Structure 1
Amino acid sequence: MTGPVKRRYDTSRRAEQARENRRRILTAASGLFREKGYAGTAMPEVAKTAGVSVQTVYKAFANKATLLKAVFDVTVAGDDEDVPIADRDFIAAIQAEPSAARKIEMYFAHLAGVGPAVFPVQLLARDAAAADPAAAEVWAQMRAETLTAMTYFSADLLDTGEVRAGLSAEDVRDVLWTYHGPEQYELLCQERGWSPQRYGEFLRAAVTAAVLD
């Protein structure tokens, strides 16, 4: 009877070790990407910083672009739990809110809060895409995921009945997608020195004026 118990224990222990290695790799990669950029970060350096072998890094992440995408996903979520963004509490709170204006306010307040961590990672992928086909695929995936999220947000706003007459779901989605882009953060916060709070308020006001009566 001890054999099966030991195997279950060993499997659980290996799984926990793999998860811990993944966390350490993501933490190391996040710091190095922000410090040295995408091109300046090498996988062996990530391994050394994380305290694991290079083989362990490649076992968890097929290439550097895949690692960048994983860093982005964890940064957006705030953790490495296997819970989709659509199922997170802040999305549920927005969906439960009956007012379209309040939904927009809540969403862009959240975006302003996570933006300083999230947008620099997106911008790394955008800039790397010109020279690295794998990074270009990751950048395209980031854009597509944002478009999908804004499609759902658009439908949620339309369900309130408060969207300006004449605007289609696609119109609202495209406005949301445009203002959600990292380019706005780059221009206003990184280049012009706006605070994240001022940036978030600007997005709230702009989107509200664009889509609501």
Structure 2
Amino acid sequence: MLDAAAGLFCEHGWTATTVQDVARAAEVGVQTVYFTFGTKRALLTEVLDTAIAGDADPVATLDRPWARAVVDAPGAREQLARQAAGARAVLERAAPVLDVVRGAAAADAEMAQVWRTNQRQRHTVQLRFAEALVRKADGPLRDGHDAASAADVALALLGPETYGLLVTTQGWTPARWEHWAADTLTRQLLP
């Protein structure tokens, strides 16, 4: 059901996709979808969570191996490269779904809350990474950045909006975006 819903939401959008469409595509009854997820909003939220994580395991982002590898990187430059690689892996799966959620947020108050929660969660992850970066940097970060403002920079550079603009709209490869993101983070944050 999640795969069917993800495909339909990404192809047709929030408004045009119905629970009936998802049930038909998943070859299950409509009541099965409602019984499993409760609402269309809950279904899209589950699609989003699964896309971000890459699986249905209830493991927080910061407890996932790729995020631990970012924090545990031995040096600041390597950490930023790992951050960009981790963001690429997540965004390759999740950027289209995040775009659906962002679009749904404009018309639906509950989806707007899902979008705001996702933004806060992404900032929390970037703040944890930035705190690790501050500890590894040889001296202060560039231009007086502290962990909070470094997290803001990473949130903007590694966000689905920037990824979508460069990869989806402008046709960059994900590898080119990853290299650019790591380089830009390094230039913006390290002395």
Segments of 4+ moved more than 4 angstroms: none
Following the alignment from structure 1 to structure 2, what is the Cα–Cα distance between the partners of residues 117 and 161?
Answer: 31
* 2:119 pairs with 1:143: yes
* 2:107 pairs with 1:131: yes
The size of the alignment, in residue pairs, is 189
CA RMSD of aligned residues (A): 1.5
Which of 171, 176, 181 is the aligned partner of 2:149? 171
Overall identity of the aligned pairs, in %: 34
Compute the TM-score of the two structures, normalised by the length of structure 1: 0.83
Question: What is aligned with 1:36?
Answer: 12
Following the alignment from structure 1 to structure 2, what is the Cα–Cα distance between the partners of residues 146 and 103?
Answer: 17
1:126-170 Cα shifts (integer Å, max 9, x gaps): 111111222211111111111111111111111213351622111
Following the alignment from structure 2 to structure 1, what is the Cα–Cα distance between the partners of residues 124 and 90?
Answer: 19
- Within 5 Å, which residues of 2 pair with 1:1-213? 25-162=1-138, 163-164=140-141, 166-213=144-191
Following the alignment from structure 1 to structure 2, what is the Cα–Cα distance between the partners of residues 35 and 161?
Answer: 43
Give, as a single letter, the amino acid of the residue that structure 2 aligns with 1:164: L
Secondary structure at 2:98 match in 1: helix
Contact conserved, 1:104 with 1:204, CA < 8 A, in 2? yes
Q: Deviation at 1:42? A: 0.3
Contact conserved, 2:154 with 2:185, CA < 8 A, in 1? yes
Following the alignment from structure 2 to structure 1, what is the Cα–Cα distance between the partners of residues 132 and 29?
Answer: 46
Question: Structure 2, unaligned stretches of length 5 or more?
Answer: none
Q: Deviation at 1:48? A: 2.0
Structure number with greater Rg is 1
Question: Structure 1, unaligned stretches of length 5 or more?
Answer: 1-24
